[in-house]
Structure 1
């Protein structure tokens, strides 16, 4: 009888954790300027917290732990929620001091946010966008669709996997993430993005090709990129000047030819 009740309790908790995972897709819906994603985090944590803390007073206390400021990359939210559910289970068993949770949680969320901005927003999303554009311009819409579908499904697998590992391993899962060396992988993807950008230029560059025009374009891009990276030049201004130069280049070329009598 006791074994059956334990099995039912485990199944109930599993379903509650599954609802918490699904709610991770909605954490940005209640974004606010004061707590950022804190309301969304509370919403995602609620089913799991109800399964962990049966006493209403303990449940209210647990919810208050997530009412404060929270901000992280949305792709890492399932991982974060899984880790926090693991910690709440440990707190409920009396093996983890609740006072330590806030500091550890903030450190983890900000670290994951930085990795997410670098690897996902700064590398993989740009890789997907550039490769999709190149495939479409080269007449391969089916390949572009397949790429988008693969990236979408891969993201869902990543979210489900990191959530499961977070629930099972808690903060220990961060050691495995460290071994993944995601920052360096993000840097490698950026090298691929540079090659894709060159491919894009070849696809859209007016025919016939003239090597010196391409050389001027690459030099101008490197020049602007240097000062944008150091913060001396706004990205918006750099793009505006670069696009304006491209639009005016035929007129500049024609004026130079007429001036030199070519």
Structure 2
């Protein structure tokens, strides 16, 4: 709990350091923006509710002919309906996850704008109440683990941004990753996209924006394989911004949270260069 509180404090310090000095002047506008986003979420929820209402057009064809033919027809219809149910379940779960994350972000922003204590915010309740249901589904084929998880074109868009980053086209890469994050929020590659966007922004020399990207990468997937690197990059970026105390605390968390990972050695060297105690 102490480690989590320290890291939370670092994240809050980063948010304060990155906010522009004119936040007080923009307060009314920001609150209006947040209210607008809440209204948009409400509209999306209403759309989902309409999908729970029947249209009166439902019908099931049991076929004609022999008993064997009718049984085959019914089995085919059951297979079709099962497939549709699984697709709808996946879509609803994705919306619930994305909506819950967005509401949590709005709660944080509202408390921050009102001058409240963001460290006392509890865990955001799941959109719709209760736990996100998980529908039983057969295990995916080992050769295609991402086939049922990635949206159409998601991997292609991600690879396009990666190609730009590898070619040293940092501005284009940062733009492509930002578009990817907006297009596929909450996807399996979103946290990695935040991290890679941080790399592109670092290449551009925009350390402040890079720090935000690394923070998003870590907070979006704090237990992923990329998390140690994201936390190290965040601490390193804080040091580059002159936030030495926050940088030292963040870099120390790398070793505490992810002992034995390569990022620990990098974090130790960065702490030494910053003169951390």
Greater C-alpha radius of gyration = 1
TM-score, length-normalised on structure 1?
0.26
TM-score, length-normalised on structure 2?
0.25
